[in-house]
A and B are shown apart, each in its own frame.
Chain A
Amino acid sequence: MEKCVNGYFFAYFICYLAYFLFFVLLSDASCVFQLATMTSEITEKDKVIQDGSNAEGTVVKDADTSESKASPGTLTETGRSTGTTGRGLSRLLPSWMRRSKHSSKPETVPLTKEQPGSTEDVAEDAVLLKTDGPDDVSAGEKAEKEKCARVDLPGAAPVKSKVEEPPTMGGEGSEQDSKDTEKTASHSSETRIQKRGSWREYKLWGRKTKEKDKEKNEDKEETTEEKPALEAKMDVQEVGKEEKRAQGLDLRKLIDDDLIEIIDDVSDSEEKPGEQERDEDKGIKDQVNPTGEKEASEHAKEETEQPAEKEQAGDATSGQGVEAREPTPAETPKGKQDEGSTAEQKKEGKEKQMPGRVARSVSRRSRHVSCKVALLDGTSFECLLEKNACGQALFDLVCQHVNILEKDYFGLLHKDEAGHKNWLDPAKEVKKQLLNPPWLFSFNVKFYPLDPAQLTENLTRYLLCLQLRDDVTRGRLPCSFVTLALLASYTLQAELGDWSPQEFEGNYATAFRLAPNQTHELEERAMELHRTHRGQKPAEADFHFLENAKKLSMYGVDLHHAKDSEGTDIMLGVCANGLLVYRDRLRINRFAWPKILKISYRRSHFYIKIRPGEFEHVESTIGFKLPSHRAAKRLWKVCVEHHTFFRMVEPEKIPRGRLLSLGSRFRFSGRTQAQTREASARIDRPAPLVRRASARVQPSMAGSTVRTYTAMSSDGGAATASRAFNTARAAQAPAMPTSDGEDDVFLTPPLPRRSGPGEGKATSEDQTDSSKTDSSSSDSESGAEHEPPRVQMRNIEGENIYIRHSKLMLEGLDKTDEDMARRKDSLSQLKRSFMEDTLPPRPNEWDKRLSVGSPGRPSPRISMHGSPLQSPLNFSFREAPEGAGQSGNGEAMTTEALTVTYQAPQADSEDGEPDVLMSAQTITSESVSSTTTTHITKTVKGGFSETRIQKKIVISGDSDTDHDQALVQALHEATVQHPGMAITRVVVHKETDVPASD
């Protein structure tokens, strides 16, 4: 305490106080409010002292702190010291508060020391923009050292606080506690201070300064050695207060919701102080904090789980601790959130968890949280996510589900209570970013590519289209009538295919939502234009859609409400090129990224520092007032991200380790556009299936060609091993690589409709679970309903994705790779020999076709000059004259029918066990010259389920049609369409009309 004379220790003091406050805010509302007020008072006082003693403070503190870094040993010590000295507090606060604070502090939440000179309670973050566009003046300017203060607050935790307990006591407690913590800090950290005035700033470098950027980073690395960067100090302090002040009203309002829950917890904690004391020490040691409530078994289980998880998430250890005792009132921020989540869930009835102790025991057991992500096509994806998973984990799951590789343009949005949408930071734990825990997200385009034509995959373009359609219909992307109609017509073309007078009668456009205020006139116009798009494949229509949409002035502009310095309502639009200022839809100013030197926010103000123009010599700073601190931060983050994504070659390294650095640690962590383009140029997979889910698709397979063949395939459980091996890959690139670059396949509509939501859910859950192989804890398994053994699930994953919509669950038999290869080989030989019989060999054609084979699977090697047909195939050849076909001009015709049957060896067909029919489906689709009938039966036989798909494709065409070619094509398509399934029988029935005169 004596050292507190020094200004720096006051800084520590304040920081810790704030830190403490943070947890308090989350956990125990009663103390919180008071603490908050205390904190700010102290801050004000200290500021005076601190300002005078900067240099000294630095020296002393460095000396003091350099000895020890954050280590478990320190932690334990800390915890104890708290236990003894923090008595005043312990009366008031349950021990878990202290415990959680200490145990988590150095590990989970890196602390950032605030600078003495800037203990002003404001959250201020600055981003210096140094770019070198055409008008970049100072490319050669020397890079300034960065500083950042951690401002990222895990959610709006403080908002949930309440006032209940006597204020004075809380204040006292916090003071004492913070003093203790201050000591801790001085031991657990090594510090380097760089004074930069009261603005913390970091610079963003433009493309050409890449090298410089690198140097800077190296430099940074040299100077900063502290590994576990300590942060979150400032956060707490700033945001806590900020919230208190700026959102005082909201606070109260929101508090009420959680009132009951919190009171409950408080009483719990007060009941068992002794136990918690004991637990505290324990918790510090092993990072599991079992509370008195915990049953021994659970305790044990969790302890065993801990080590693995510790390794898994570097800084998540204490988070885990929190998780473990999450149901107890141990309210670290996460704990609080989880609890809040319980409350929310209870309210919304979406979760099975129940309030009170029951809920606790339930939630304690399940370490996964169910997430629901609304996808662009209107469906939703549900999965179980580990509680302490990072945003990236969820995002990856979603991307996997959506099957997108160019995922850097996308992000997950989460709506907070106020309805504001926040992007989920992939680098941070999900639970830190959410307040209200039904974990609901939406998958959206985050960065609108300036030139969608440069996207590699049609699937990406399709998703972008979906986003833009939504933007248009919701009015976010305003466009004129003409453009609306044009865009709508491309939508129709993409979803319905070519216009034809027979199929499209009446106002078929009404079924689509095409515009914000959809009028009949618009529909008429759209349908009129739809006719003109004849022949465009869906991907082409999407392409044209994007080409038109990208020209719209509000394309990719993210608008934020604000006020200018005069209090006029304006909108700030963040886009790829910079920051736009709108007043009532009129653009009144624009700041291109190269023009902006620095972006920052401070309380609810957002500032940009403008590079001096040709005729000015002074840098000017322009400030905007945003509705709240949060809004300012949100805007700031979006700006940082957009700048980095669109203007930089690579993202700036996240500054770390500088203890007294200020400003936010937030940086854009994804890939930049340049990197994304590079990456997508390397994408090497067959174009994925674009599932046009709007499902108003006509049955006609417009645009796609269907060839005649009759094939009976059954899932012989082919290539289990290889599939298991390729699980991830197959999941990514599942569906159907189409043969000749035609990658858009209409789904026949009945399928998605028939599959109920439950089915979809089960599927996605399965997928999630099986993809998380290492998390096979017993409780997760019990959590997932009717989950078959893991191996089998993995087996089916490949098919699953393709056939998911058709409500098929294919469970394969365990077959070796060779087995499958052999079968494929024999089949291809069959095909080849058939070809040889009837056609001149076309090696190139074959090779080309087969090389398109399904991803992740050994494509059968075919050698055109190989051995003749092997015997194991049943080969029946029948030739029979049949009745006369249709005669055009009264001319008599005879029909020559040719039936060829190929039968592949069936390993599993003759086992004589009774089959149980599980499901049967028949789908018929027609196109101009062919009819495809797919009959799918699912049977259970001897413990395995078998799916047979029987396809009957009839091609009617004149003699010019190359039937053999068509057959080959059809066989190939069948194999490709149903990867993992083997063709067991091919029956060719050929009917030829022969003029009778001959």
Chain B
Amino acid sequence: MAGACFGRYTHAVVRAVPGSLQDHAIRDPASSPVDLAKAQRQHGVYVGILRQKLGLQVIEVPADDSFPDSVFVEDLAVVCGDTVLVTRPSALSRRGEVSAILPVLEELKLRIVEMKDETAMLEGGDVLFTGREFFVGLSQRTNQRGAEILADTFKDFAVSTVPGNGSLHLKSFCSMGGPDLLVIGSSEHAQKALRTMQQLTDHHYDKLTVPDDCAANCLFVRPGGKGHALVLRSAEDYPESIKAFEKLKDYTLIPTSMSELNKVNGMLTCCSILVNRKLDV
């Protein structure tokens, strides 16, 4: 079911960086201001990688200034197989973002499941799909109820909850670097979450620990269903971490910089929804 196809995608849904991001995006007050132009440039490079290097069909949704965080499309939907769960972000300012994404998902002929429960909160950034099971980080943005709905939607898979660690998304410090390869940051909460996940899982995952939490968020894709490609943060962003990645064998490493969006908690995985859907058309 999962293992072999993990990392195989055909489409990517992205959304351009809105002008309002610079001032209105949800962010850590301490972080330095975002250089919008640079952010847009970096995003452009990112989309280019998806399209050129990973061979995905990229569907780009136009930016909307009324939603400053709308570039982070990953939070809006969890796709697994041909089913998509449209999430319910915690921030009120983000609730409207879905409306622009939905038609795209419909076009991809995905089975759309929407969260109707008012009490549920879930953001895609808190959902880690390993190919075999789901981990849901319980945070300020994701609650138990949201995770339950996720479990109801994807009944085939075990859904385990990883207790919260502040406002951070689960995928802010970890991601899948390949089938059964978990990339994890080395901070204390990252390691704690790793232990929790190891405890909760029936499967064995290899782990790759990288010095920087944010570098642990990378994008694994098997272009054309073969080979291993990993989009990761460039040396310019995280010089130490990239060395850890270089140990991986038979991987095509595609470093890219995401420093500006990172200031508003943007990550590599955040900026796209990856879909594996062979359309007959």
Contacts and interface: CB of A to CB of B under 8 A. Distances in A.
Interface string A712-738: 000000000000000000000000000
B155 interface: yes
Contacts of A613: 195
Nearest to B200: A590
A2 to B, nearest CB: 58
Interface in B157-193: 157-161
Nearest to A577: B202
A551 B202 contact: no
Nearest to A587: B160
Interface string A473-493: 000001111110000000000
B144 interface: yes
B95 interface: no
B35 interface: no
A553 interface: yes
Given A482-B81, A588-B161, A551 B199 contact: no
Contacts of B144: 583-584, 586
Residue of B82, B148, B156, B200 with highest tally of chain A CB at under 10 A: B156
A479 B148 contact: no
A228 B143 CA distance: 57
Contacts of A577: 202
B274 interface: no
B71 interface: no
B279 interface: no
A585 B159 contact: yes
Interface string A774-817: 00000000000000000000000000000000000000000000
Nearest to B202: A577
A589 interface: yes
Interface string A587-617: 1111000000000000000000000010000
Nearest to B80: A480
Contact of B156 (A480, A583, A587, A588): A480
Contacts of A552: 155-156
Given A586-B144, A586-B148, A478 B155 contact: yes
A482 B201 contact: no
Nearest to A486: B1
Nearest to B135: A587
Contacts of B153: 480
Interface string B101-139: 000000000010000000000000000000001001000
A519 interface: no
A58 to B, nearest CB: 43
Nearest to A575: B202
A548 interface: yes
A553 B161 contact: no
A590 B202 contact: yes
A186 B243 CA distance: 75
A586 B156 contact: no
Contacts of A590: 160, 199-202
Contact of B159 (A480, A482, A551, A587): A587
Contacts of A551: 1-2, 156
Interface string A524-557: 0000000000000000000000001001111000
Nearest to B154: A480
A194 B186 CA distance: 49
Given A584-B148, A586-B136, A553 B158 contact: yes
Contacts, number: 64
A577 B1 CA distance: 20
Contacts of A586: 136, 144, 147-148, 151, 159-161
Interface in A289-321: none
B65 interface: no
B200 A480 contact: no
A479 B199 contact: no
Interface in A560-585: 577, 583-585
Q: Report the contact-size class of chain B (Cβ under 8 Å from the partner).
A: 20 to 34
Nearest to A576: B202
A482 B83 contact: yes
A613 B192 CA distance: 13
Nearest to B191: A615
Contact of B155 (A479, A584, A587, A588): A479
Contacts of A548: 1
A524 to B, nearest CB: 14
B115 to A, nearest CB: 15
B246 interface: no
A551 to B, nearest CB: 5
A613 B198 CA distance: 12
Contacts of A583: 144, 161
A589 B136 CA distance: 13
B158 A587 contact: yes
Given A480-B155, A482-B82, A482-B83, A587 B199 contact: no
A480 B199 contact: no
A554 B151 CA distance: 12
Nearest to B203: A577
A548 B81 CA distance: 14
B80 to A, nearest CB: 9
Residue of A481, A482, A586 with highest tally of chain B CB at under 10 A: A586
B39 to A, nearest CB: 36
Contacts of B133: 553
Nearest to A482: B81
B200 A479 contact: no
B23 interface: no
Nearest to A581: B200
A3 B158 CA distance: 60
B240 interface: no
A587 B161 contact: yes
Nearest to B152: A585
A480 B81 contact: yes
A827 B271 CA distance: 78
B83 A481 contact: yes
Contacts of B111: 481
A386 to B, nearest CB: 43
Nearest to B153: A480
Contact of A585 (B82, B148, B156): B148
A577 B133 CA distance: 16
Residue of B81, B111, B160, B201 with highest tally of chain A CB at under 10 A: B160
Contacts of A588: 160-161, 200
A587 B200 contact: yes
B128 to A, nearest CB: 13
A735 to B, nearest CB: 35
A909 B156 CA distance: 63
B156 A479 contact: yes
Contacts of A478: 155
Interface in B1-37: 1-2
A553 B203 CA distance: 11
Contacts of A589: 199-200
A927 B78 CA distance: 48
Nearest to A483: B156
A668 B200 CA distance: 27
Interface string B196-232: 0001111000000000000000000000000000000
A481 B136 CA distance: 22
Contacts of B83: 480-482
Interface string B29-63: 00000000000000000000000000000000000
Q: Which 8 A-B pairs have the closest CB atoms?
A: A553-B158, A587-B160, A478-B155, A585-B151, A480-B155, A480-B156, A590-B200, A584-B148
30 contacts: A479-B156, A480-B153, A480-B154, A480-B155, A481-B83, A482-B81, A482-B82, A483-B1, A548-B1, A551-B1, A551-B2, A552-B156, A553-B133, A553-B158, A553-B159, A583-B161, A584-B151, A585-B152, A585-B159, A586-B147, A586-B159, A586-B160, A586-B161, A587-B159, A587-B160, A587-B161, A587-B200, A588-B161, A589-B199, A590-B199
Interface of A: 478-483, 548, 551-554, 577, 583-590, 613
Given A480-B156, A553-B157, A586-B160, 10 more contacts: A479-B155, A480-B153, A552-B155, A583-B161, A585-B148, A585-B151, A587-B158, A588-B160, A590-B160, A590-B202
